[in-house]
Amino acid sequence: MITILGAGLSGLSSSYHIGHNQCVIYEKNNHATGHVHSEYINGFTWDEGPHVSFTDNEYVKTLFKESVKGNVLEYPVKTINYYKGSWIPHPAQSNLYAVPQPLRDKCLEAFLSARAFYTDDFIPKNYQEWLEYSFGNTFADTFPAAYTRKYWTTEPQQLSTQWVGKRVFFPEIDQVKEGYLGPLKEETHYVKKVRYPATGGYMSFADKLLQGSNIKLNYELSHINFDTKQLSFQNGENVEYDKLINTIPLPVLIQKSNAPDYVKQAAEALNCSSVLLVNVVANHETARPENWIYVYDEDKYSTRINCTELLSPNNAPKGKTGIQVEVYFSNYNQKNISDEEIAEAVLKELLEMGLILDRNYIETYHTKWVQWANVIFDHQQVKNQDIVLGWLEQYGLTRENDDLMPMTNWAEGDNTKYGDLILAGRFGQWKYYWTDDCVLRGLRVSQGLKNTI
């Protein structure tokens, strides 16, 4: 039997691809699916933060489609930016025409001089330098740097650049000039079409992986002894493992283990954001058509906003809107105010932005705390992760070429031979993984185990 910690997508995919009959999964919650879990409350479907699938991978597309028996919605994503009362199409860097004056002119001027100044062989030392090089300092400071402080919870100087990839649109000079005059003919947002289950919320995409799995719910790991290969759980149960696939957050695994202090300190220094979701029901139609809204104002808690009925019309009763607001915290930006106070402030912000038409329309609201949201790729991450992974090698972890990198290139072949300890998933491997990556990691682990046996 192979033992798996965590029944999120990575744990489920590992078990599915190895064969559910050869695996047992231990999960701390009373339900599976981890971050892709959806909740159903009074006719509303609430995901754990906005989830859509934008994968190009045909295998994952088919698996998700089969999970929902073909009932999948596919639509172009609509995104917009909110800045001090202005609504700016996304990405703002190629839609400067919608930026208020005199900021618009200053952004263009700084952009042009940045592009004249930097050469192609310029290597940015941090994300702030990358932003200034890409957009010029005026735009960089007003938009992405402000958003970084809200979403990544720290200064862009603190972040490395390896994770950026295609996520932040790098515009050509002509596109910025054209976008300064008016809307571009072609959409430049990196995600174009997305897929989402017609019913049941994003969680339904996990149905196929879930069926037939052998999951022990309410099993929260309390201690792992790597020397004796023993797991202890909060409910008092103890089990031994032969091969272990870990998908629970790496810092949690290490804190609960027999690791020496220097390894525990390295694990503790791995930074991750948490998100407070504020879910609000208002008794009127959706106020704006965009799937999500990025809010740049640093005097507002709201960072990203989506409406659940725009993900699927079946996610909410007709005529009502279910607004979900994300508010981020971390060790860099600690939460020292109550959920209730944040929710109250968010309601005021939604009224100010016109997403709720009037206070009287608010029917209900609730908050949800999500402890593990985004791995923060700060400058200490690689060093600390290397210490942790290096220590785990003696317990059967096989080091992989890209195990300190934010992403995995699935197009590259892999013939890793796994030992008795395997890491999988966004927090288990400490990566910038999306749901497709988690599915593909499970597949790769199963193939690697076949190579090994």
Ligand X SMILES: Cc1cc2nc3c(=O)[nH]c(=O)nc-3n(C[C@H](O)[C@H](O)[C@H](O)COP(=O)(O)OP(=O)(O)OC[C@H]3O[C@@H](n4cnc5c(N)ncnc54)[C@H](O)[C@@H]3O)c2cc1C
Give the total of residues touching ligand X (CB under 6 A): 37
Exactly one of 99, 433, 439, 445 binds ligand X (CB under 6 A); that residue is 433
The residues facing 306 across adjacent strands are: 292, 324
Count CB-CB contacts under 10 A for residue 341.
10
Q: Is 425 in the site for ligand X (CB under 6 A)?
A: yes
Q: Which of 305, 78, 77 is nearest to 196 (CA)?
A: 77
Exactly one of 4, 8, 296, 439 binds ligand X (CB under 6 A); that residue is 8
Exactly one of 3, 17, 45, 51 binds ligand X (CB under 6 A); that residue is 51
Q: How far apart are CA 47 and CA 291, in angstroms?
A: 14
Question: Quick one: 61 or 284, whose CB is closer to ligand X?
Answer: 61
Question: Quick one: 4 or 159, whose CB is closer to ligand X?
Answer: 4
What sign does the CA torsion over 206, 208, 209, 213 have? positive
Q: Is 49 in the site for ligand X (CB under 6 A)?
A: yes
Exactly one of 60, 99, 224, 248 binds ligand X (CB under 6 A); that residue is 248
Q: Which of residues 311-350 bind ligand X (CB under 6 A)?
A: none
254 CB-near residues (< 8 Å, 6+ apart): 263, 264, 267, 388
Structural contact between residues 216 and 239, judged by C-beta atoms closer than 8 angstroms = no
The nearest distance, CB 352 to ligand X, in angstroms, is 23
Q: Is 201 in the site for ligand X (CB under 6 A)?
A: no
Residue labelled with tokens 């105010």: 337
Q: Which two tokens stand for residue 293?
A: 């809204």
Exactly one of 2, 4, 5, 23 binds ligand X (CB under 6 A); that residue is 5
The nearest distance, CB 237 to ligand X, in angstroms, is 12
Q: Is 18 in the site for ligand X (CB under 6 A)?
A: no
Q: Is 241 in the site for ligand X (CB under 6 A)?
A: no
Exactly one of 3, 20, 23, 27 binds ligand X (CB under 6 A); that residue is 27
Stretch that binds ligand X, among 24-32, 99-107, 175-183, 284-292 (CB under 6 A): 24-32
222 CB-near residues (< 8 Å, 6+ apart): 232, 233, 234, 256
> Helices 58-67 and 435-452 sit at what angle, rounded to 10 degrees?
110
Structural contact between residues 28 and 220, judged by C-beta atoms closer than 8 angstroms = yes
Exactly one of 17, 65, 90, 426 binds ligand X (CB under 6 A); that residue is 426
The nearest distance, CB 277 to ligand X, in angstroms, is 8
Question: Quick one: 86 or 232, whose CB is closer to ligand X?
Answer: 232
> Helices 261-268 and 381-392 sit at what angle, rounded to 10 degrees?
140
**Which residue type sits at 12?**
L
The nearest distance, CB 10 to ligand X, in angstroms, is 3
Residue 150 backbone dihedrals phi, psi, to 5 degrees = -80, -45
The residues facing 21 across adjacent strands are: none
Question: Quick one: 51 or 90, whose CB is closer to ligand X?
Answer: 51
Q: How far apart are CA 321 and CA 167, in angstroms?
A: 29
Residue labelled with tokens 């395997």: 422
Q: How far apart are CA 372 and CA 329, in angstroms?
A: 10
Q: Is 7 in the site for ligand X (CB under 6 A)?
A: yes
Q: How far apart are CA 178 and CA 294, in angstroms?
A: 23
Stretch that binds ligand X, among 102-110, 292-300, 429-437, 444-452 (CB under 6 A): 429-437
The nearest distance, CB 356 to ligand X, in angstroms, is 21
The nearest distance, CB 162 to ligand X, in angstroms, is 17
The nearest distance, CB 296 to ligand X, in angstroms, is 18
Q: How far apart are CA 127 and CA 110, in angstroms?
A: 17
Supply the DSSP symbol for 65.
H
Exactly one of 2, 427, 444, 445 binds ligand X (CB under 6 A); that residue is 427
Stretch that binds ligand X, among 15-23, 50-58, 143-151, 171-179 (CB under 6 A): 50-58
Q: Is 149 in the site for ligand X (CB under 6 A)?
A: no
What sign does the CA torsion over 239, 242, 246, 251 have? positive
Q: Which x/- pattern, by CB under 6 A, does the window 266-285 give for ligand X? A: ---------x----------
Q: Which residues contribute to the site for ligand X (CB under 6 A)? A: 5-11, 26-29, 34-36, 49-53, 219-221, 247-248, 252, 275, 372-373, 425-428, 433-436, 438
